[in-house]
Structure 1
Amino acid sequence: MSSASNTIGTEESARMGLRDLLPTLYLGSWKPGPLNSLTDVPGVLVHSQEIFANNGAVNTGVTSILPCRDWFYKACYSGIFRFNGSGEMTGSHWIEETGLLHSPIVITNSFAVGAAYQGIYEYALKHLGTTKGSVDWFLLPVVAETFDGYLNDLTQFAVTPQHIVRGLENVSSNPVREGNVGGGTGMICHYFKGGTGSSSRVVEGLDVKGDPKTYTVGVLVQANYGRPHHFRIAGVPVGRILAEEAEEAAKSNPAIKMAREELERERDRKDGSIIVIIATDAPLHPIQLQRLAKRATVGLSRVGGYGHNPSGDIFLAFSTGNAIPVQSISMERRAVDPYKPTPVAVDIVDDSSINGLFEAAADATEESIYNALCMAETMVGNGGRRIEALPLGRVRAIMERWR
C-alpha cells in the first residue's frame, strides 16, 4: 500500500471550508469554537489516516476518536440515535443498555469493521496491560462504517488492525482534517466527492453554582450519502442547479454521460450513509444525549439528506461533563460491592435549559457536511472511476445570485 493520494487538484478546485467560501452566510445563532472542530471540546482527541494503492484501486482510511485520555477507566455518558439502520456501529447495544461510552470510536469502510474491532483490542492489550494468557477487563469496541466501494477496492481489505493501533497512538487535539481524509477518504456525498467534515459551536450557560460558563458542542461527520438534486446550502437548491448543468454537458459528451449513468446505477443499489459523532462538555445524562444525537437529523435534512432505505444514518453523542468510573469489578479486584447500591455524584443540565445545545448540534452537523464537501478534492479511484469535487466557484456564483 502507498501513502500517495489519488486526488486531483486544480486552480478552480482550491479547497476551503464553507465559512471561507461564503463568509456572509448565516450558519446559526451560536459562534464556532476557536478551531471550528470536534477537538474544540476539551479532552477530545482525533487522528485520521489515508490508505492508497499505487495502482489507484485502494482509496480508504481510518478516523480514530478518543473521548478522553483516560477513557478505559472513566466512561462518558452517551446516547445513540438511528435515523436509518442500513449500517453498522458496534458496541451500540451496550451504550443503549448502560448509557456509557468507554471505548475509542473508530470510523472506517464497511469491510474494515472487523480489523478496526481487533485493532482496538490490540491497542488496549499493548497500552493498558494484561496478564499473559488472561484478560481481566471489559471492553466493547465502538466501530462505525460507511461504504466506499465505488472508489475503493473493498476486496483487498486494506485496513489492518495495525492501522487502528497507529491511529489511536497518534490522536491529538489538532483541528480535524477534512475532505478526502481518514475514514472519509473514498466517500461520495450528493454525487460529489465527500468525506470527513467537522464543526463546533459554543453555547453560553451556567455552572452548578449559577456562575456564567460556556459549553462546547463539536461534530464530526463521515458523509457518504445523497442524491445530487437534493443538495442545498441555506435552502438554495445548489445541487439541482449543478445537476441540470451536468445533464446539459452530458448531452454533448458521451464519456460524461456514461460516468453519470454508472454512478446513478451504483447509487440506486446502495445510497450510502452518514456517521455523525457529537461531543460536548455540557453535563448531559444518557437520555439527554440520545435527544442531542437526534438533532443531527435536523442538520442532515437541511443539506438534503432523507434517510433512504439503503442508507446507514447513525449518530452518537457523548458528554465529557461527567467521568463515570468503570473497570471497578474484575476477577482480581473489586472496588465496589456489586450488591450494595453506591451513588456516584454527577452534574446534570436542567432539561428546561437544553435548547441552545440542541440548536448547536443541528447547526454544527449542517456545517460539518458542508465542510466535508467543500474540502474534498476530485478523485480517480478503483477502475478509473472519477468523482468530481464540488465546484466551489460555481457554488459561490449560485449563492450570490440567489441571495
Structure 2
Amino acid sequence: MAATSSFTAADTPRSRIRDLLPTLNLGRFAPGPKNSLTDVPGVLAHTQSIHSHPAAAPGSINTGVTTILPRKDWFHQACFAGLFRFNGSGEMTGSHWIEETGLLHSPIILTNSFAVGAAYQGIYEWAIREYGDEKGSVDWFLLPVVGETFDGYMNDIAKFSVKPEHIVQGMDQASADAVPEGNTGGGTGMLCHYFKGGTGCSSRVIPGEKKDYTVGALVQANYGAMRDFRIKGAPIGRLILEDQEKLMRANPVDPKLLAQAKLLIKLTEAKDKKDGSIIVVIATDAPLHPTQLQRVAKRATIGLARAGGCGHNPSGDIFLAFSTANEIPVQTVTAQARKVDPWTPSTLPIEYVDDQTINSIFENTADAVEEAILNAVCMAETMTGHDNNTVSALNLDQMKEMMERYL
C-alpha cells in the first residue's frame, strides 16, 4: 500500500479559515460583510498576477501587484496614518514622511523586492496623467508608498516583470470588491511557513458609542518556518512535520515521500539563507490620530505572533495603519496656487477616539491580522515556479483533521 504524504493536495477546495472551521473562535467581534480590507468604507483595492516575460522560461514568472487606495481622492485629502517596524529587513517607501507628519496621501502598492522602482514610477505616471499640466509638468508634492517582500524562490525576480503600467492599471481599476486571496497580487509568488502563502484579508465591526466602526487588514505573507505555524494555538506546522517524519520512517524508499522530502530540504535551505517578510496594511473608519494609529499598527504583531511569526533577523515585518475618518487637505500650497498662507497658522476640525475607549480597536486589529494570515495560507494553491521549485499548499483535509482535537 502506497504511503500518503502529508504534503499531497487535499480534496477540499481552497477555502477561507472561517469556512473551513466554522466553530473556530476567531475573536469576540463579527467580521464585515466581505471580511476584507474593503469593508472599510471608501477603501479601494486591486490585485494583478503576472506570469510571463518575453525573456523568461515558461512557468518561471510568478509575481504581481496589490494596489490599495486609502480613499478615492487620496491626492487632495490625506488620511492620518501610523507605522510600526517589527523587524526592519525590508522596505516601505514614503515611511519617513508618514512618520514626520502622520499623513498618508499616496496609494499603497505591495509587490516584490525588485519591483519597488517600477511601482514608485507607476504612481508618478498616474499622478502626472491626472494632475500634470498641459505640458506634463507638476508643481505638487507626492511621496509614493511602496512595500515589498521577496518572491525569488517562485519567481525569476531578476527579469523585472513588474512594469509601471501595471501600477497605473491597478490604480485605474481599484474597487470596493472583496480582495482576492492566496496566489494573487503582490502575494502571487510568496510563501508562508513553508506553505504557499500570499495575500489575505479580514475585517471586524466594532460597536461604537454613536456608530459602528470597521477595522480591515490585508497581509502579504511571506515569512516563517513550518515548525512554527499555528492555528489558534494548535501547533499545526509541527504536527505536519511529525506526520511526515513518521511516514518516512515507515516507508524509507517510497518515491513520492522521497521527492517531497527533497523539495522540503531545498526550501528549508533557501529560507534559512533568506527568510521572507510580511507587510500588513490596516484600515479603519474609526477616527484616530497618528499616534493612535502607530499603536494600532503595533497590534499587528500580536496577530502575527499567534500564527507563528517571530520577526527573524532577515525578515521585513512592516505594518501600516491608516484612518479614513478625518480628511486632511493637502496640495494646498503649490508653485501655482496658495489656498492657505504657510506663514499664518490655521486650524482644522479633527475628531478622534478617546484613548480610554480604544481597547476594542486594538483587540480587533490583532484578530483581523491573525485571520488574514490564515486566509492567505488556506486560499493559496500549490505552485511550481522558477528553477522548477515547487511549494505545496497547506493540506486542508489534514489540517481540519488535526484541528478536531483542539476544537
| Distance in 2 of aligned mates of 1:248 and 1:171 | 47
1:96 alignment partner AA? E
Contact 2:9–2:392 (CA<8 Å) still a contact in 1? Answer: no
**Residue 4 of structure 2: aligned partner:** none
**Residue 93 of structure 1: aligned partner:** 96
- Secondary structure at 1:402 match in 2: coil
| Distance in 2 of aligned mates of 1:394 and 1:339 | 65
- Secondary structure at 1:295 match in 2: helix
Structure 2 unmatched runs, 5+: 1-7
- Secondary structure at 2:280 match in 1: strand
**Residue 334 of structure 1: aligned partner:** 338
- Are positions 1:64 and 2:67 aligned together? yes
1:156-192 CA-partner distances (Å, limit 9, x unpaired) = 1000001000111000000010000000000000000
Q: Which of 289, 297, 310 is equivalent to 2:293?
A: 289
**Residue 239 of structure 1: aligned partner:** 237
- Secondary structure at 1:401 match in 2: coil
Report the count of equivalent residues: 390
- Secondary structure at 1:260 match in 2: helix
Q: Which of 174, 186, 189 is equivalent to 1:186?
A: 189
* Structure 1 residue 127 displacement after superposition: 1.9
1:271 alignment partner AA? D
Please show how residues 34-183 of structure 1 align to structure 2 within 5 Å. Answer: 34-53=33-52, 55-132=58-135, 134-183=137-186
- Secondary structure at 1:203 match in 2: strand
**Residue 313 of structure 1: aligned partner:** 317
- Using the size of structure 2 for normalisation, the TM-score is 0.94
**Residue 15 of structure 1: aligned partner:** 14
Contact 2:10–2:395 (CA<8 Å) still a contact in 1? Answer: no
* Structure 1 residue 126 displacement after superposition: 1.2
- Using the size of structure 1 for normalisation, the TM-score is 0.95
| Distance in 1 of aligned mates of 2:346 and 2:221 | 42
Contact 1:151–1:186 (CA<8 Å) still a contact in 2? Answer: yes
**Residue 371 of structure 2: aligned partner:** 367
- Secondary structure at 1:219 match in 2: strand
* Structure 1 residue 385 displacement after superposition: 0.9
Contact 1:13–1:377 (CA<8 Å) still a contact in 2? Answer: no
- Secondary structure at 2:312 match in 1: coil
| Distance in 1 of aligned mates of 2:313 and 2:10 | 38
**Residue 5 of structure 2: aligned partner:** none
1:258-297 CA-partner distances (Å, limit 9, x unpaired) = 2111111111111100000000000000000000000000
2:403 alignment partner AA? M
* Structure 1 residue 56 displacement after superposition: 0.4
* Structure 1 residue 13 displacement after superposition: 4.9
- Are positions 1:258 and 2:257 aligned together? no
* Structure 1 residue 134 displacement after superposition: 2.4
* Structure 1 residue 256 displacement after superposition: 1.9
| Distance in 1 of aligned mates of 2:363 and 2:169 | 35
1:333 alignment partner AA? A
| Distance in 1 of aligned mates of 2:101 and 2:12 | 46
1:122 alignment partner AA? E
Structure 1 unmatched runs, 5+: 1-8, 207-211
| Distance in 2 of aligned mates of 1:303 and 1:37 | 18
* Structure 1 residue 128 displacement after superposition: 2.4
1:221 alignment partner AA? V
Contact 1:146–1:274 (CA<8 Å) still a contact in 2? Answer: yes
